[in-house]
Every structure is written in C-alpha cells, then in structure tokens.
Amino acid sequence: MSKPPTLKSFKLALIQLGNISANKSENIKHAREMIIKAASAKPDLIVLPECFNSPYGHVHFPVYAEKVGFTPGEPYDIEKSESDSVKMLSSAAKECKTWLIGGSIPERDQKSEEVYNTCTVYNPRGELVAQHRKVHLFDIDIPGKIKFKESETLTGGSTLNFFDTEFARIGLGICYDVRFPELAMISARQGCQVLIYPGAFNMTTGPLHWELLQRGRAIDNQVYFSMCSPARDLNAGYHAWGHSLVVDPMGKVVSEAEEGEEIIYTDIDLQVFNDARAGIPVTKQRRFDVYPNVFV
Ligand SMILES: NC(=O)CCC(=O)C(=O)O
C-alpha cells in the first residue's frame, strides 16, 4: 500500500442534480452544464449524485447501461470509450481543470454483460483514474413504505476503492454502502482522510438515517464524510431525499443542501481534521490485540 498524500485544505463542490428524466442525452447534457457552473467557484473537486444519467429504478438500469471497460492500474483510452457519460465527464474535468467524481451510472461489464452501479473518477487532465462498483445492493422491504430490489438487475461490486489527489486520499462508496461500517473503516485504515459516496436515499429512511449514518461514519473514523444526492422530483418513480451533506471529523454537519437542485461548496479544513485526531486520539488507541484481526 502506498503512503497516502498529506491532507491539505481544499474546496469541495457537491452538485445536487435536478431534472433527471427518461432522456439520457439530456441528462448528460444537463450534468455537463452543472459541472461547468460548479467550476466557476474554482473548487478542487466536484461531485455528482448516484445514477445521474438515468431514472433510478431496477427496470431502468439495463436499458441505460453503458460499457465503460476500465481496469484499475491500466491506462484508459477515452477516445475509444463506448460510454457517452464517460466521454462527457472526462471532457468536463479537463475543461474545468478539476478533479471530478462522476456520481454513478448503470454500467455493463464488457465481458460478462453483468450490470453494475458504477462511479468513475477523473483527474484535472480528464483521465479516468478510479472506479467503484456499488458493493452492497439496495434490497429493502419496509411494508407500506418502500420496497426496492437493485439485485433484480444489478450485480454487486467486489472491490474497495480509493484514489489519491495532491490534497487527499479519497475513499469511494455508493449510497447503501454507507450502512456497512466495515467499508468506511477499511478505507480509513488505508489512509483515506475523506470519504465520498454518491447516494440517493428515499423519503422513508432519508429523514431517519441519512444524516445519522454519515455522522457515524465520520466520527468512527475521524474523517470528512460526504454524500451527494439527486434533487427530489415528486414526478419521478423514485423520490430522492436530497439534503446532500458534508460532515467533519468531529461529526459536525458543515454543509447541507435542501431538496431542490443546488450546488453546495465546503472548505475541507486540515486544522479541523488534525484537531479532531489530536483531541480524541482513537486512531492511535485501537486495541488490535483484542479485536479479531480483520481490520489490522
Ligand atoms: N440508492 C440507495 O442505495 C438507497 C439507500 C437507501 O435509501 C437506504 O435507506 O439505505
């Protein structure tokens, strides 16, 4: 494992994207416009929400799926990409000279044809540098409230993923992944100082769990934790909670969107990170002699 970059203060932009319709090319076009808009405030990193190019629903995933064909550690030729979303995200990152976490899209594996919920990441040169396939699929059934089964059409990813910038090591997850503290804890143990999960909670669990889970993951690991949601659209089949959020390593909510389309900016502050870890030194007090060694 390489040494993580030393955390530096940086500016984060979350795009709580609205107007996600049945028209994929319109969705891609609108996401591009919003990236350009977000970049006008000169953030170092821009984030899109889960499933930004397609309506959110298991019936839609195979229809909207694109072949990305990225292999970690191998160079990726954007010109030869079969994915319109990847091409747009790459060119927008390059044009804005910014890091970009491209939310997620339904992705079809080039060999197996299995469909994943996949996040791709771009550096300021527009190179595709990392990918995360949602590991834990959103299969829930709360009678009378919400039933959702991603596993009807999606396959879960099987790798943990992070990427290094000049200002931080950033760990990735997607939405339901936040409910599994192991994922965040392993990312933090691998040196991530910031964890960012595109997500789309719903109107039942959103009010109860969205903020609580993120504050929990932030405090457990003394990291900045953030999730970027689509805007709420009551005409859509799935009603997203919205409230894109950034939580600091003390568990304090430092930025929060409302329900509609919005861009929120946050200064990720090195001093806050260092003070949290110095004041409550849990990262140095872990008792690996007592725990089973899964997290060592
Ligand atoms: N897109 C998702 O994974 C939704 C997760 C969610 O709403 C939850 O309660 O968990």
**Is any atom of ligand 1 closer than 6 Å to the C-beta of 238?**
no
Question: In 3-state terms, what secondary structure has residue 50?
Answer: coil
Q: How far apart are CA 183 and CA 180, in angstroms?
A: 6
Residues 6+ apart with CB under 8 A from 290: none
Pick from 40, 96, 28, 61: which is nearest to 200 by CA? 61
Question: Is 294 a residue whose pLDDT tops 70?
Answer: no
Question: Is 84 a residue whose pLDDT tops 70?
Answer: yes
Are the C-beta atoms of 223 and 192 separated by less than 8 Å? yes
pLDDT above 90: percentage of residues in the chain: 96
Q: Which CATH number fits domain 10-277: 3.90.1150.10, 3.10.310.10, 3.60.110.10, 3.40.50.300?
A: 3.60.110.10
**Is any atom of ligand 1 closer than 6 Å to the C-beta of 179?**
yes
Q: How many CB atoms lie within 10 A of CB 18?
A: 18
Q: How far apart are CA 28 and CA 37, in angstroms?
A: 14
pLDDT in tens, 166-214: 999 999 999 999 999 999 999 999 999 999 999 999 999 999 999 999 9
Ligand 1 center to residue 145 CA distance, Å? 13
pLDDT in tens, 27-74: 999 999 999 999 999 999 999 999 999 999 999 999 999 999 999 989
Catalytic residue, candidates 50, 150, 259, 262: 50
pLDDT recorded at residue 145: 97
The per-residue pLDDT of the chain, averaged, comes to 97
pLDDT recorded at residue 295: 52
- Tokens for 200? 């789309």
Which atom of ligand 1 is least distant from the CA of 138? 3
Pick from 193, 248, 273, 132: which is nearest to 4 by CA? 193
**Is any atom of ligand 1 closer than 6 Å to the C-beta of 175?**
yes
**Is any atom of ligand 1 closer than 6 Å to the C-beta of 241?**
no
Total number of residues shown for the chain: 296
Q: Is 262 a catalytic residue?
A: no
Are the C-beta atoms of 57 and 84 separated by less than 8 Å? no
pLDDT in tens, 223-257: 999 999 999 999 999 999 999 999 999 999 999 99
> Which amino acid does the sequence have at 196?
I
- Tokens for 220? 């457990």
State the SS3 of 166-207: CCCEEEECCHHHHHCHHHHHHHHHCCCCEEEEECCCECCCHH
Question: Is 288 a residue whose pLDDT tops 70?
Answer: yes
Average pLDDT of the segment spanning 134-146: 97
**Is any atom of ligand 1 closer than 6 Å to the C-beta of 214?**
no
Catalytic residue, candidates 66, 96, 119, 134: 134
Ligand 1 center to residue 175 CA distance, Å? 6
**Pocket test residue of 104, 117, 148 for ligand 1, highest count of atoms within 8 A of CB:** 148
